[in-house]
Amino acid sequence: MNFVDLIGKKRDGLTLSYEELATVANGAATGAIPDYQLSAWLMAAFLNPLDEQETAWLTKAMAESGARIDLTGLPKPWVDKHSTGGVGDKTTLVLLPILAACGLTVVKMSGRGLGITGGTIDKLSAIPGFRLDLSPEEMKAQAAEIGVALTGQSPNLAPADKALYALRDVTGTVGSIPLIVSSILSKKIAGGADTIVLDVKCGSGAFMETPEDAQKLAAALVETGRRLGLAVKASISDMAQPLGSMVGNALEVKEAYDVLKGQAPNARFQDLCVYYTAETLEACGKVSRIEDGKAQALEVLESGKALKKFKEWVRAQEGDAFWDSGSLPEAAVVEPLRFGGAGGYVQAIDARAIGQAVIDLGGGRKRKDDQLDLSVGVEILVRVGQQIREGTNLAKVHASSLEKILEVGPMISKAFTFSDTPVQEPPLILGSF
Ligand code: URA
Which residue's CA lies nearest to atom 3 of ligand 1?
Answer: 184
Q: How far is the CA of 196 from the centre of ligand 1 (A)?
A: 15
Q: Mean pLDDT for the chain?
A: 95
* Contact in structure between 128 and 319 (CB atoms under 8 Å): yes
173 lines ligand 1 (CB under 6 A): no
Burial of 144 (0-12, 13-18, 19+ CB in 10 A): middle
What per-residue confidence (pLDDT) applies to 366? 84
pLDDT grade, residue 73 (50/70/90)? very high
Query: Hey, which residues are catalytic here?
Result: 82, 161, 168, 183, 187
Of the listed ranges 37-41, 77-81, 116-120, 338-342, the least confidently predicted one is 116-120
Q: Residue 112's pLDDT is what?
A: 81
Nearest to 394 by CA among 374, 409, 406, 379: 379
The H-assigned helical ranges of 147-264 are 159-169, 177-190, 211-227, 249-260
Least confident of 1-15, 107-121, 314-328, 359-373: 107-121
Choose one of 84, 117, 176 to mutate for the ligand 1 pocket test, by most ligand atoms within 8 angstroms of C-beta: 84
Whether residue 186 has its Cβ less than 6 Å from ligand 1: no
Nearest CA to ligand 1 atom 2: 184
CB-based contact 105:77 (threshold 8 Å): yes
> How far is Cα 419 from Cα 312, in angstroms, rounded to an integer?
46
pLDDT of residue 343: 94
CA of 183 from ligand 1 middle (Å) equals 5
Question: Residues 231-241: what's their mean pLDDT?
Answer: 96
What torsion do the CA atoms of 163, 164, 168, 171 make, to the nearest 10 degrees?
80
- pLDDT of res. 428: 97
With a CB cutoff of 8 Å and minimum separation 6, the contacts of 284 are 76, 77, 79, 104, 195, 231
Q: Three-class SS of residue 55?
A: helix
